A = this chain, B = another copy of it.
């Protein structure tokens, strides 16, 4: 288990790049191979020394023991079966934010058991290799989905790796993951995107916002900088759960609107007091 692996990272952006740094720092890799369709990103990944070399996909697969898929989830469902076709005894895992469609894409694949479906709960609003961060993932949760469908050796190594980079492991079925992810991640991004659009639409004095913007504004709006290439497919793949949460969120906002319209002090107080209960969950 302590033997270092040759690791190929498909997609050397924020997540792939940050993982590369950790794999190197924690002495998990003997060699890091990058693959990226974006020539700019490929160049940058080498410049920043995130990986030892960039190779075409097929060569990267042949020359590695472990393959990490760190691409947007729409590319993921297309690429995963293609890569599995070419895999022999390599370990393959993904780091995508949705799990059901990804797992479905290789459900009946003869090499299914070489694949481990994971979602490390870390990210920032920035993107590309230049956004890769040292010390990423530490003290965060990683979800392993449908673990019983993976080979023991693949699962063991992936768990070992995540523990070594400081994450705590949670296991659940893909459907449960996608439901929870809609609440703890996807809706926050939609809210933030919509809040940015609200401000950009209505507040013409951008200078005033810039000067007045407080920590509270920064905090609720920063996710609005997130990469569309990553988020459009996440929201569409997790459509049913996301719509469920989004409808409830609009209904909750409408209650605030109603209470303010009616100057209903008691109702507004109840709504805010109820929101305060989030302290139970969020310390």
Contact = CB atoms under 8 A, between A and B. Distances in A.
A219 B221 CA distance: 9
Contacts of A176: 208
B194 A188 contact: no
Contact of A232 (B143, B192, B269): B269
B282 A213 contact: yes
B170 A188 contact: no
Nearest 7 Cβ contacts at the A-B interface: A193-B275, A196-B278, A228-B272, A196-B275, A194-B252, A188-B220, A224-B275
Copy number of this protein in the oligomer?
A: 2
Interface string A186-230: 011111111111111111011011111111111111111110100
A68 interface: no
A8 interface: no
Nearest to A273: B228
B248 A257 contact: no
B219 A188 contact: yes
B263 A236 contact: yes
A245 interface: yes
A195 B184 contact: no
Nearest to A236: B263
A80 interface: no
Contacts of A189: 216
Interface string A153-178: 00000000000000010101000100
A215 B122 contact: yes
Interface string A236-275: 1001001111111110111111001101010011011111
A221 B282 contact: yes
Contacts of A215: 122-124
